[in-house]
Amino acid sequence: MKSILKILSIVLLLSAYGCFKSKKKVYTNTEDIPVHREMKAELTAPPNVPRPVGERKAKKLIVEMEILEKEGELTDGVRYVFWTFGGTVPGSFIRTRVGDEVEFHLQNHPDNKLPHNIDLHAVTGPGGGAESSFVAPGHEKVFSFKTLNPGLYVYHCATAPVGMHIANGMYGLILVEPDGGLPLVDREYYIMQGDFYTKGANGERGLQPFDMQKAVDEKADYVVFNGNVGALTGDNAITAKVGETVRLFVGNGGPGLVSSFHVIGEIFDKVHVEGGDLINENVQTTMIPAGGAAIVEFHVNVPGTFILVDHSIFRAFNKGALGMLKVEGEENENIYTGEQYDGIYLPEGPGIQEMPTTDGVVESEIPAQNFEEQMKFGKQIYMQTCFACHQAEGQGIPNAFPPLAKSDYLNADVNRAIGIVLNGKTGEITVNGQKYNSVMTRQMLSSEEIANVLTYVYNSWGNNKTVVTSEMVNTIKNK
């Protein structure tokens, strides 16, 4: 009898426990999810994202977003007045879970010129909040909304003229995680594409105003990730280790262009198509509409630098839509061997590659005023034009591209060097005792640019400190 009672009580206990376990109620209508307590939202600047929501319950989430109109850099030497949510382009990342009650504080800094508002695509309501958040400089507006649908959403300013507010950088992402959160991964990053329209052409230095007509024509001068050309390259590259899983929250602010997002050398294991519930697997390039987003995930198996691009490829290599993911770790030759053979292949006819010529290479509007500026501008050109082959420190690549550092060939004859930049070079040369036999195409640079870049090269890395002027270049050009 006693033992029966014991068994009964255990059964009762177990069933009570089972009851407790299943107490986590599933709400068919996310509107009914109750909120527990209040919390200030963590906001992060790109490329970082706030901590995952994990198992936390829905809360009243306070978001304080400050609007700042401020000058920044689009690329080296090109300044632009950005209008920003939280001081960055794209704006701060907001991370919520389904059922959260978001109390949104939109603060327009007193130094700002213009009224602004915010339309969050995660909001169910008129204007996505725009109507309730129209705020004059030096004021703050508050409105609240409940996150009903999980997904990754764009937010942006929607004040007239809407296109101009977006073109100046007023967009960002808000993530609504499902109940229990997205599965945890090793690395998460925030990347958002945007197109910019400047009065001057791409690369024209100085403070560039917004060009309305180009924006209407959708002829972008810059297409960039995270607000400027170098935001995700070099020291700013995002990183991971071999064996990790990387999740990218990718948005496209537009205003004009649709993105063909691709990571060179990787295949997306999973894509949350358009930021929603639908998961596609094994994707090479995913389409991200203007005012849309996607979540992409992939496992990194081998080390190296993986390039993030808009595969509308001129945007990547000529307008800035290029980022880097640097992966460190052990090589895995089962997956990728690296180069295994290098031999000679001679098809018929000379294989000289020549870029199509345009006669008018325009002189830059602001010429260098002194040696320091020549060095500065020269370095910019070097990094854009020469760096890929001759490398950051002029060291070149053994057996392929000759060094420019302490180069006897270079220092022997400045006019020959000018001629090579102007006309290209093909055939065997000997540099510092090593033979090289490759092709350098003629460079589409103005005389001024050639003078600057050669001055930079001659005054770096142990070379003979020759100063090259545009007159010297013109003399060779006109020979």
Partner 1 sequence: MFAIPFRAVFVCLVFQTFGFAQTDGMASIKGGRYIPLYGRDSSLIEVQDFELDAYPVTNGQFLQFLKDNPKWQKSNVLKLYADENYLRQFKNDTTLNDTENPNSPVTHVSWFAAKAYCECQGKRLPTIDEWEYVAMSDEVTADARKKASYNQKILSWYETPRTDERSIGKTPKNYWGIYDLHGLVWEWTLDFNSVLISGESRKDVDRDSNLFCGSAAIGATDLMNYAAFMRYAFRGSIKARYSIKNLGFRCAKNSTETL
Q: What are the residues binding partner 1 (CB under 8 A)?
A: 69-71, 81, 110-115, 117, 126-127, 130-139, 158-164, 168, 199, 209-210, 212-213, 216
Please name every residue paired with 79 in a beta bridge, in sequence order, or none if there are none: 73, 207
User: Taking the complex as a whole, how short is the minimal distance between the CB of residue 292 and partner 1, in angstroms?
Assistant: 18
User: Of 161 and 462, which CB lies nearer to partner 1 in the complex structure?
Assistant: 161
User: Of 85 and 134, which CB lies nearer to partner 1 in the complex structure?
Assistant: 134
User: Of 156 and 262, which CB lies nearer to partner 1 in the complex structure?
Assistant: 156
User: Of 79 and 311, which CB lies nearer to partner 1 in the complex structure?
Assistant: 79
User: Of 69 and 177, which CB lies nearer to partner 1 in the complex structure?
Assistant: 69
User: Of 72 and 304, which CB lies nearer to partner 1 in the complex structure?
Assistant: 72
User: Of 158 and 327, which CB lies nearer to partner 1 in the complex structure?
Assistant: 158
Which residues have a Cβ under 8 Å from the Cβ of 31 and sit 6 or more positions away?
Answer: 146, 148
Q: Can you tell me the distance from the alpha carbon of 292 to that of 94, in angstroms, rounded to the nearest whole number?
A: 15
User: Taking the complex as a whole, how short is the minimal distance between the CB of residue 91 and partner 1, in angstroms?
Assistant: 18
Q: How far is CA 170 from the centre of its chain?
A: 16
User: Taking the complex as a whole, how short is the minimal distance between the CB of residue 127 and partner 1, in angstroms?
Assistant: 4
Reading the block at residue 460, the tokens are 């770096």
User: Taking the complex as a whole, how short is the minimal distance between the CB of residue 174 and partner 1, in angstroms?
Assistant: 19
User: Taking the complex as a whole, how short is the minimal distance between the CB of residue 203 and partner 1, in angstroms?
Assistant: 20
Query: Is the Cα torsion angle 29, 35, 41, 44 positive or negative in sign?
Result: negative
User: Taking the complex as a whole, how short is the minimal distance between the CB of residue 105 and partner 1, in angstroms?
Assistant: 15
Give me the active site residues, please. 116, 119, 121, 156-157, 165, 170, 262, 281, 285, 311
SS (H, E, C) the chain: CHHHHHHHHHHHHHHHHHHHHCCCCCCCCHHHCCCCCEEECCCECCCCCCCCCCCCCCCEEEEEEEEEEEEEEEECCEEEEEEEECCECCCCEEEEECCCEEEEEEEECCCCCCCECCEECCCCCHHHHHHHCCECCCEEEEEEEECCCCEEEEEECCCCCHHHHHHCCCEEEEEEECCCCCCCCCEEEEEEEEEECECCCCCCCEECCECHHHHHHCCCCEEEECCCCCCCCHHHCEEEECCCEEEEEEEEEECCCCEEEEEECCCEEEEEHHHCCCEEEEECEEEECCCEEEEEEEECCCCEEEEEEECCCHHHHHCCCEEEEEEECCCCCCCCCCCCCCCCCCCCCCCCCCCCCCCCCCCCCCCCCCHHHHHHHHHHHHHHHHHHHHCCCCCCECCCECCCCCCHHHHHCHHHHHHHHHHCEEEEEEECCEEEEEEECCCCCCHHHHHHHHHHHHCCCCCCCCCCCHHHHHHHHCC
* 78 neighbors 206 (Cβ within 8 angstroms): yes
User: Of 141 and 390, which CB lies nearer to partner 1 in the complex structure?
Assistant: 141
